[in-house]
Amino acid sequence: MNSGVNQSILITGESGAGKTENTKKVISYFATICSSGKRKEGEASLEDKIVQTNPVLEAWGNAKTVRNDNSSRFGKFIRIHFNASGKLSGADMVVYLLEKSRLTYQQPLERCYHSFYNLMSDQVPDLKEKCLLSNDILDYWYVSQGKITVPSIDDKEDMMFADEAFDVLGFSSEEKYDVYKNTACMMHMGNMTKDFVPVGKEEQAEIKDDTNANKVAALAGIDPEWMINYFCKPKLKVGTEWVNKGSTCSQASNSVAGIARAVYERTFRIVVDKCNETLIDPTMKKIHYIGVLDIAGFEIFDYNGFEQICINYVNEKLQQFFNQHMFTLEQEEYVREGLDWANVDFGMDLGPCIEMFEKPMAFLAIFEEESLFPKATDETFKNKLHDNLLGKHPNFAKPNPRPDPDAHFAIVHYAATVSYNLTGWLEKNKDPLNDTIVEMIKNGSNALMIQCFADHPGQPTEVKDDGGRKKKGGGKTVSSYFKGQLDDLMS
C-alpha cells in the first residue's frame, strides 16, 4: 500500500482446495482495514457492497461437482481501488468463462447452479407464482439430471442471503425479479425441449401441447405462437429472399437449449456489470489497486471435456506466470542486488505445453479452424489433432483407456497427464443461436432479456449496406473469446 504500486494476489490450487473461500477472506480483510468510513443515510457502505457481491455470484456461478460442493464454475479478477491516503474508493470485477454446458446437462453426482434450487426453496413468498414454477424441482428436467440436494448447502438460507444482497447492491425490485424470471425461464425451456413431436415424412418438428411454451413466452415477453413457429422453422436469408427452414425435433430442441444457455450466461454477465456500477464511488479518486484473481482450479475427472481443457489451459498459463515471477525474476533480482546466490533451476518450464496450445497450426488453431469448417466432425477433428501434434509436441499424447475408454487424446500438464474426450466440442465452441428468436426477444417486453441480447445483431429485416466489406467479429467462437479474455488478463 505504501509503495503506491498496483499489486495482484494470485490464488491458485486444484479444484476444491479453497481458493474462493480464501478470496472472500482477502476481500473482506481489505474492505474492513481500509474502510473509507463514508456512508450515505439509508444506504449500505462501500465495504458492505463489496462483501455482498459474494452471495449473488456464488448462487448464479457456483455448483456442486464431484470434488467440491461449492465449486466456482467461472473465474473472476477483482480489483479493489484505493485513494491517495490508502482508503477504499471502489472495486470492479471481470468474470471469465462461465461453464454453460452444466445448464443443460449434469453428471449423476453433480448438480446444476445453486440459483435454481434457491428459487425453489420457498424463501421468497411470491417468487414461484411470478416465475410460473411448481413446487417440485423434479418437474424441471434440465436441473434435476444429477443431485438435487447437497447436505452441506442450505438452499433456503442461501436464497435469503442472495435476495438481501441484491437489495444492498442497489438492484430495484423489478430488476431483481427479472433476474429470477430469466433463471426460471431456462427451467421451462428445458421442459419445452421435450414437447417437440415429428410430423409427416420430413419429420418436421411441431408442438402439440403448448403449456411449457406459453410459460417460456410469458417470461420472455414474446408471442407464444410465433415463438413456437420460429423454433420449429427459423427464418434464413437465401440471396435476397427470406425462407423458413424446417427443423427436426432434435434440431428444434438444440435451438431452444442454445437460447436457454445464452439467456443464463448473459443474465449472469449483466448482474456482474450492475455490481460493478454499484461498487465504484465516482466521488473518490482511484490512485492504485490490489487485484485478486480467483480462477477455476486444475481439474481431472473420470470424464474430461471441453470445460476441463479450458480450465487446465488457463492454469497452465497462470502457473507459468507464477514460476516466472517467483523463481526466475526473483533470482535475477538477487543477482542485481549483488547477493551471494547460485541460480537454482526449479525444472518448471511450462513453455512447451503452452506452445502446444498456442503456436500456429497447434491445438487452438486447429480447434478454431475445425469449429468454423461446415463439414468438420468429431472424427475429422481428432484425426487432425493426431496428424499435426502427435510425435511433434511432447505434451500431446495418446489417451489412457482408464478411466475413460472413449477418450481421444491426452495432454501432459504440469499437474498431471489428462485424457480428454472431444465429443461435441465443435458444437459447444460454435454455440449457435437462433437469430429469429433473438430478434423476437430484442423486440419483446422483458427489459432484462432485451439487455441480454443488446450486443447481438439479431435478424434485422433491413440489412444495412456496408459497401461489400466483411463484418468484423462475425462467428466468434467460445475458445477465441476465452483466449482474448485470457490475453487481456495476462497483459
| DSSP 8-class letter at 14 | B
Catalytic residue among 47, 299, 316, 370: 299
Task: Examine the residue annotation and report whether 475 is marked as an active-site residue of this protein.
Answer: no
Q: How far apart are CA 446 and CA 397, in angstroms?
A: 49
Task: Examine the residue annotation and report whether 312 is marked as an active-site residue of this protein.
Answer: no
317 and 490 in contact (C-beta within 8 Å)? yes
User: DSSP secondary structure string, 104-168?
Assistant: T---TT---BHHHHHHTTS-STTHHHHTT--S-GGG-GGG-SS-S--TT--HHHHHHHHHHHHHH
Task: Examine the residue annotation and report whether 146 is marked as an active-site residue of this protein.
Answer: no
* Closest to 447 in 3D by CA, of 163, 176, 127: 176
Task: Examine the residue annotation and report whether 297 is marked as an active-site residue of this protein.
Answer: yes
Task: Examine the residue annotation and report whether 72 is marked as an active-site residue of this protein.
Answer: yes
* Closest to 58 in 3D by CA, of 95, 90, 30: 95
216 and 227 in contact (C-beta within 8 Å)? yes
Task: Examine the residue annotation and report whether 16 is marked as an active-site residue of this protein.
Answer: yes
460 CB neighbour count, 10 Å cutoff: 10
Q: How far apart are CA 117 and CA 221, in angstroms?
A: 24
* Closest to 311 in 3D by CA, of 323, 329, 296, 330: 296
Query: What is the distance, to the nearest Å, from the Cα of residue 240 to the centroid of all Cα atoms in its chain?
Result: 37
User: DSSP secondary structure string, 216-249?
Assistant: HHHHHTS-HHHHHHHHHS-EEEETTEEEEPP--H
Q: C-alpha grid cell for residue 188?
A: 421451462
Question: What is the b/e burial string over 106-131, where b = at least 16 CB atoms within 10 angstroms of the residue's CB?
Answer: beeebbbbbbbbbbbbebbeebbeeb
What is the chain's Cα-based Rg?
A: 24
Catalytic residue among 12, 14, 16, 358: 16
Task: Examine the residue annotation and report whether 71 is marked as an active-site residue of this protein.
Answer: yes
Catalytic residue among 58, 297, 315, 479: 297
The three-state secondary structure class of 272 is: helix
Q: How far apart are CA 381 and CA 212, in angstroms?
A: 37
Catalytic residue among 23, 68, 304, 312: 68
Sheet containing 417-420, strands listed edge to edge, beginning at the edge strand earlier in sequence: 396-397, 409-412, 417-420
Task: Examine the residue annotation and report whether 299 is marked as an active-site residue of this protein.
Answer: yes
Catalytic residue among 23, 36, 62, 71: 71
Q: How far apart are CA 187 and CA 182, in angstroms?
A: 9
Which sequence positions are flagged as catalytic? 15-16, 20, 68, 71-72, 297, 299
